[in-house]
Chain A
Amino acid sequence: MKNSYLFPYKYKKIGLLLFVAGFTLLLMGFLFDVDVELSYLDIKMPVIVTNPLFSERQYFQMVETNITHQIIILSIIIGGLLFGFSKERVEDELISDIRNKSLVWAVYFNYSLLIISLFILADLDMLAMIVFNVFTLLLFFIIRFEWKKYVLKKTSHEE
């Protein structure tokens, strides 16, 4: 029980902040076509492989790119991990049981959705789905875990 692979409780809030901020920006950019790119994030970045749209794949290049999306993705993933995998205020075996079950549930749900998408989406929409799938596992896990904790709290308050 000592080695639980969890972050300290204090990271929970900062995790939520990063996760929500990142997701808001991502959805604004993707769904509502808001330009979230900041011009001062245009940088030259060293990459190992790059495959430009109209030319051959190149190796070990400096590419000019805007890193807004890298930062947004980083914020969602780091934030989600911190929020989902920080200890609770009272971290006990019931909470770890709920966390484990939520994780299993989220993996099943996430891949079920992906399998369904294979048959009902095509082309760019399928591509968008796969992009979103980078975050949905974390998202479903967090929603399920928080919901189960809420239900637990509510049922034990009723008497």
Chain B
Amino acid sequence: MRAIHELTQQDLADKIQVSRQTIHTIEKGKYVPSTLLALKMAAVFQVNVLEIFEIEESDWS
């Protein structure tokens, strides 16, 4: 999604006021962002949150 919009991790980070490391860990699946941050990312890409994030089976347990 970031690639489609031709944004670097840093560009996206600047747009939503987080560090590049935060974008990195989110993309790696190592960190689950808050609802607010997920909404901000979706707003930057002008899509629905569910189009960039999904809930996994393991999240239920």
Chain A contact residues, CB within 8 Å of chain B = 1, 88, 90, 92-95, 97, 152-153, 155-156
Among A94, A152, A156, the residue within 8 A (CB) of B18 is A94
Q: Chain B contact residues (Cβ within 8 angstroms of A): what range?
A: 10 to 19
Residues of B within 8 A of A93 (CB): 18, 22, 33-34, 37
Residues of A within 8 A of B20 (CB): 156
Give Cα A156–Cα B31 distance, bound, in whole angstroms: 13
Chain B residue with Cβ nearest A95? B19
Chain A residue with Cβ nearest B27? A156
Residues of A within 8 A of B2 (CB): none
Q: Are B25 and A94 within 8 A (Cβ)?
A: yes
Q: Are B31 and A92 within 8 A (Cβ)?
A: no
Among the interface residues A1, A92, A93, A153, which one has the most CB atoms of the partner chain B within 10 A? A92
Interchain residue pairs A-B with the least CB separation, the first 5: A156-B24, A92-B18, A90-B19, A94-B22, A156-B21
